[in-house]
Amino acid sequence: MQLVYDQKGDSVAVLTRGEIGPDDTADVHELDSDRIVRLDTSGTVIEYQFFNVRRYGVRLDDLEHREALSQLFAEGGFKERDWSHPITVTAVRRRRDRATST
């Protein structure tokens, strides 16, 4: 497995068996707002994509390659989270919205 981190997008792509060719992808599943899985024609996972990895950590507890992914992310310095540790979302009102509401 190969982990590729994009600092600008705060995202990680994990290639399970090397580079992906243009004809390798048969299906893509969005697991939730922070995770996508890419499958080949036989239904085998060829790539995981994770978003907001430094900001929120990565959720691995329900994935097929959980143990290998957990080790890979730990080596990369990324924290792991699960459903028992929900993401804290802070609502932020824009300055314009505050000015019109007063």
Q: What is the pLDDT of residues 7-46, one digit of tens each?
A: 999 999 999 988 888 888 889 999 988 999 999 999 999 9
Give the pLDDT mean for 63-89: 82
pTM: 0.77
pLDDT in tens, 44-53: 999 999 999 9
**What tokens appear for 84 in the block?**
């028992």
Predicted pLDDT of residue 21:
85
| Structure token pair of residue 10 | 């705060």
Q: Tally the domains of the chain.
A: 1
Supply the range of the domain harboring residue 95.
Answer: 2-101
Query: What is the Cβ-side half-sphere exposure of residue 59, based on CA atoms within 13 angstroms?
Result: 17
- From the list 54, 46, 8, the residue with the least C-alpha distance to 27 is 46
